[in-house]
Structure 1
């Protein structure tokens, strides 16, 4: 298993990790990565919408939008208020 070189980085401690997060209306699932991750993140929205903050930039993603976060990039994201968001990562 690979370990994060920087202990402040969040790590899945795996070379490849994937799944589907199905967040329904009214559920809270905010992700805040103050120091980023120790690996690349690919995130594909398949239903609903989410807001994404990357530094001073804020935008909304919807079905078909693909996010790619490089290692060590500060970011946060979560479903739009009272909305649903299904995404593969």
Structure 2
């Protein structure tokens, strides 16, 4: 499982589980819809990404975390489609 969540632990996106044999390796890619870490700004009528820290988590499940990497996203505004 690979997941992206806020530093408070709120999940944003999670990949499906992949079964691997012991000591097996598999490369995975996760494409994140830009609006997932964004919130709707009613006053500005736009999607706004809140600057902050987000965790990328790798593990067998949410209770079996093997590795966690913290990334920082800058504040941003997304175009309305």
Is this a same-fold pair by TM over 0.5?
no
Structure number with higher strand proportion: 2
Who wins on radius of gyration, i.e. which is larger?
2
